[in-house]
Structure 1
Amino acid sequence: MFTSSLTRYAQPVPRYTSYPTAPHFHGGIDGMCYARWLGETDPHKPVSLYLHVPFCDQLCWFCGCHTKQVRRYDPVADYLDALGAEIALAARILPGRRNVSAVHFGGGSPTVIEPDDIDSLRAKLDDAFDLDPDCEISVEIDPRNVDHDKLEAWHRFGITRASLGVQDFDPDVQRAINRRQSFEQTQAVVGALRKAGIGSINLDILYGLPLQTTETLRRTIDLAVSMRPNRIALFGYAHVPWVKKHQSLIDQDTLPGPAERFDMASDGAAQLAEAGYIALGIDHFADQDDNLAAAASDGRMRRNFQGYTTDDAETLIGFGASSIGRLPQGYVQNSVSAADYIRKVRAGELPTMRGFALSLSDRIIGRLIESLMCDFSFSISDLKRAFGAEVDSLLVEAAGIAALEGAIVSFDGDTFFVKPEGQPFVRTIASRFDRYLTRNKARHSAAV
């Protein structure tokens, strides 16, 4: 039964950080369309911001991000000039001066930025927006390329949450993914962040890496827990060498199989529960005092391109190469190439290369899938209150899916619920409602 369940439910499907997912974005959404959408947003509602830094000091072979290795700072400096110009351009288009409720820096590695440029970037944001006093400002940090001066600069910037990549502390696994990072190095950065007053710490761990075993993962989690981070994300490694060519440097024969991956995820979740962390969604764990745990308990946890979040702004503005924004009208994505991005911004253009305009049906299914990914359930009556009578068509569909997947889901005519034994496979259940999944040849990572 276990083997057949893995075969049935652990097939490659999207991660559902959006709906429709990014492979369905198209070039019909350009900078002019994006400018119109920005201009139509409600000037009285706050926005959230995502800033992408597509550079690293060293390229890790497991990485699935849009980034590249740089050995000189000049390309970073040129890029940051363009980033500041894009911020100013978008702010001029928005109706009114907007409040900002959340800011997230991702990459690549935002910690390649030098202290003076960190200060300059904060000044440019302050010129364009009003950051709320309680704005959550989170930054992804590579412990290998951050020092005292950079941490002080990020403290001046106002960050409230730091997310550190760990992946795995086992030396053999680290060599296999080209990322050497000791526990002591990571522990020192965590201590420095706390000393600087940045008390909210996230650690990211991967399972399914080459040469990794349940035992090596257990040791990594033990070491991570010893630092008592506020959150731990236990992600499944997505091996997609057809998208990220550098992943072909990983010996595929050393990757754990589906059953081993499932054991890693299950054992890791149990270990974190024993350590006092609350499971949130499919791969996040938080201590009971963390605001994400509170949001999950109250049904306020959301899911976007950064994963699980408390950010409930209806408009997320993405800045930088490859960044994705979400507006009430749909999704937009900037040019992936940093050079193309810089060229367009210097010409005074929004660097949008593609996107997706949402229909009412897209919004309904998007809310449904987000509810499944966050709460493992959705309610027909809740959807109907939000979207109206068109939701009625889901009654038959939900009943049909529940009849086919009755071993792991239930449906009582209103609430569709993924049973505990089915929750590791919720991405697969969500895919049953996906209207676009079979419309192109996009390939995805394994569901577990």
Structure 2
Amino acid sequence: MLNKLLQRYSGAVPRYTSYPTAPHFHEGISPETYQKWLSELSAEHDVSLYLHVPYCDRLCWFCACHTKHTLKYEPIAQYLEALKREIASVGAKVSPAAKVTAVHLGGGSPTMLRPDDMRALMDCLRSAFSFAGDAEISVEMDPNDLDEARYDALADIGMTRASLGVQDFDPLVQKAINRLQTFEQTKGVVDAVRARGVHSVNCDILYGLPHQTLETLRRTVDDILSLSPDRIALFGYAHVPWMKKHQTMIPEIALPGVEQRFEQMTLAAELLLTAGYEAIGIDHFARSGDQLAVAARSGKLRRNFQGYTDDAAEALIGLGASSIGQLPQGFVQNMPATGEYQRMAEAGGLAVVRGIALSEDDRLRARVIEEIMCRFAFSFADIRLAFPSNAESVIAEAQLFAASNRDGLCEIDGDEFRLTETGKPFARTVAARFDTYLSNGKGRHSIAV
């Protein structure tokens, strides 16, 4: 039975970190449109900031992020000047009444930044935007970049959450993905940030990697559990070599098949649950006291371009090359090409090159898809209240899907569309049933399991 389900429902679908998804953004959203959207943010809008640093001192072959390899610091220094210019330009268009409640530094490897540059970047942000006193500052960290001076700088900028990519500790797997990182290095980072008062540590694990087995994955999970992270993300490796050419370095013959991937996912999840972590959505786990677990239990879990989050901000402003922003009016994306982004930012304008304005149907379907991804259900009463003019068509789609699905992935439970235990591993596939953009053929996606 499981094999048949995997054959039917593990096809390529979006990860639904947004709706509509990025392949459907278009050039009709101009810098002028973005400027207007920014100017409409007010005291009733909390704001999150995402800063993208598109450089690494090594290129991990599994990575699907927008980044490039450099061993020189000069390109990074030049990029930071453009980034600070963009921060000033965007900040000048946002009302001081709108408060920043969260900042996320991602990449790439933001921990490549020199200590003084980390401090200068945060000073620039605080000069350009109004910060809430309890703003969360999270940073993606590469243990190979870090030293005592950088740890001290991260403490100085107020980092509250550290996110470490582990993937797998097995040497053969690490060699195949060009990510050499020992357990001792990783433990050193965890110890160092906790010694400096960081209250939350997240570790990423990947399954579906080349040469990965149930045993290597079990050892990796056991090692990570010994570090007692507050959150753990369990992602399936997305093999998309048509998008990321460096993934062609990974031998496809060494990749596990769909059934093996499912077994790896199931094993890792069972180990984490047994260790006392709570399952959050399709691929996150957290200790019961962590803010992500609290948000999940209270129905406040959200999903954005960083994955699952407890961030309740109404606006996410993306800064840096390729960054995506999500505002109440719609989505915007900056110029992906680093050199062209720098030219646009240094010219004093906005670097937005595409996006999409949300229709009422987009908002409705985004709500339904986010609910499915976050709590595996959505309430008919809730969407009728929020979208009185067009909720009935989506409710009818849900009722038809539940009645016609022969494999029992979902059901109607009173006034609610709900995934069954059988259906939860295929939440992305179920969510795709409510995606009206998917059939137009734009974009290729990773498999759903």
* CA deviation map 1:205-262 (0-9, x unaligned): 1000000011110100000000000000000000000000000000000000000000
Aligned 8 A contact 1:207 1:265 in 2: yes
* CA deviation map 1:32-62 (0-9, x unaligned): 1111111122344221110000000100000
Please name the residue that 2:417 is paired with.
Answer: 416
Please name the residue that 2:178 is paired with.
Answer: 178
Q: What stretches of structure 2 of length at least 5 have no aligned partner?
A: none
SS of 2:417 mapped into structure 1: strand
> How far 1:2 sits from its partner (Å)?
1.3
Please name the residue that 1:262 is paired with.
Answer: 262
CA distance in 2, matches of 1:122, 1:349: 21
Please name the residue that 1:434 is paired with.
Answer: 435
> How far 1:395 sits from its partner (Å)?
2.3
Please name the residue that 1:380 is paired with.
Answer: 380
* CA deviation map 1:2-37 (0-9, x unaligned): 111001111110000000100111111121111111
What pairs with 1:8-407 in structure 2 (closer than 5 Å)? Answer: 8-405=8-405, 407=408
Aligned 8 A contact 2:41 2:98 in 1: no
CA distance in 1, matches of 2:41, 2:199: 34
CA distance in 2, matches of 1:345, 1:189: 34
> How far 1:160 sits from its partner (Å)?
0.4
SS of 2:423 mapped into structure 1: helix
Aligned 8 A contact 2:330 2:357 in 1: yes
Aligned 8 A contact 1:202 1:232 in 2: yes
SS of 1:279 mapped into structure 2: strand
> How far 1:412 sits from its partner (Å)?
3.9
> How far 1:441 sits from its partner (Å)?
3.7
SS of 1:438 mapped into structure 2: helix
Aligned 8 A contact 1:43 1:98 in 2: yes
Larger mean Cα displacement after TM superposition, 196-205 or 256-265: 196-205
Amino acid at match of 1:424: P
SS of 1:174 mapped into structure 2: helix
Aligned 8 A contact 1:91 1:97 in 2: no
SS of 1:269 mapped into structure 2: helix
Aligned 8 A contact 1:280 1:374 in 2: yes
Aligned 8 A contact 2:272 2:285 in 1: yes
Aligned 8 A contact 2:30 2:352 in 1: yes
> How far 1:118 sits from its partner (Å)?
0.7
SS of 1:181 mapped into structure 2: coil
Amino acid at match of 2:427: V
> How far 1:405 sits from its partner (Å)?
2.1
CA distance in 1, matches of 2:389, 2:26: 29
Q: What stretches of structure 1 of length at least 5 have no aligned partner?
A: none
Amino acid at match of 2:330: G
Aligned 8 A contact 1:278 1:285 in 2: yes
CA distance in 2, matches of 1:395, 1:145: 50
Aligned 8 A contact 1:66 1:322 in 2: yes
CA distance in 2, matches of 1:432, 1:46: 31
Larger mean Cα displacement after TM superposition, 438-447 or 224-233: 438-447
> How far 1:413 sits from its partner (Å)?
5.8
Amino acid at match of 1:301: L
CA distance in 2, matches of 1:56, 1:45: 34
Amino acid at match of 1:46: D
Aligned 8 A contact 1:395 1:413 in 2: no
Aligned 8 A contact 2:23 2:442 in 1: no
What TM-score do the two structures reach when normalised by structure 1? 0.99
SS of 2:325 mapped into structure 1: strand
CA distance in 2, matches of 1:128, 1:48: 13
SS of 1:173 mapped into structure 2: helix
SS of 2:440 mapped into structure 1: coil
SS of 1:421 mapped into structure 2: coil
* CA deviation map 1:158-185 (0-9, x unaligned): 0100000100000000000011100011
CA distance in 2, matches of 1:315, 1:251: 40
Aligned 8 A contact 1:399 1:413 in 2: no
CA distance in 2, matches of 1:354, 1:312: 25
> How far 1:422 sits from its partner (Å)?
1.1
Aligned 8 A contact 1:277 1:287 in 2: yes
Aligned 8 A contact 1:34 1:332 in 2: yes
CA distance in 1, matches of 2:159, 2:132: 13
Q: Number of matched residues?
A: 448
> How far 1:347 sits from its partner (Å)?
1.1
Aligned 8 A contact 2:42 2:98 in 1: no
Aligned 8 A contact 1:97 1:129 in 2: no
SS of 2:92 mapped into structure 1: helix
Amino acid at match of 2:134: D
Aligned 8 A contact 1:204 1:235 in 2: yes
CA distance in 1, matches of 2:398, 2:176: 43
CA distance in 2, matches of 1:297, 1:380: 20
CA distance in 1, matches of 2:276, 2:224: 13
> How far 1:336 sits from its partner (Å)?
0.4
CA distance in 2, matches of 1:43, 1:324: 22
Larger mean Cα displacement after TM superposition, 87-96 or 423-432: 87-96
| RMSD over equivalenced CA pairs, Å | 1.0
> How far 1:153 sits from its partner (Å)?
0.2
Please name the residue that 1:445 is paired with.
Answer: 446
> How far 1:353 sits from its partner (Å)?
1.0
Identity, % of aligned positions = 55
Aligned 8 A contact 2:322 2:337 in 1: yes
Amino acid at match of 1:435: T
What TM-score do the two structures reach when normalised by structure 2? 0.98
* CA deviation map 1:361-420 (0-9, x unaligned): 000000000000000000111011112231011222111111222512001462000011
Aligned 8 A contact 1:87 1:319 in 2: yes
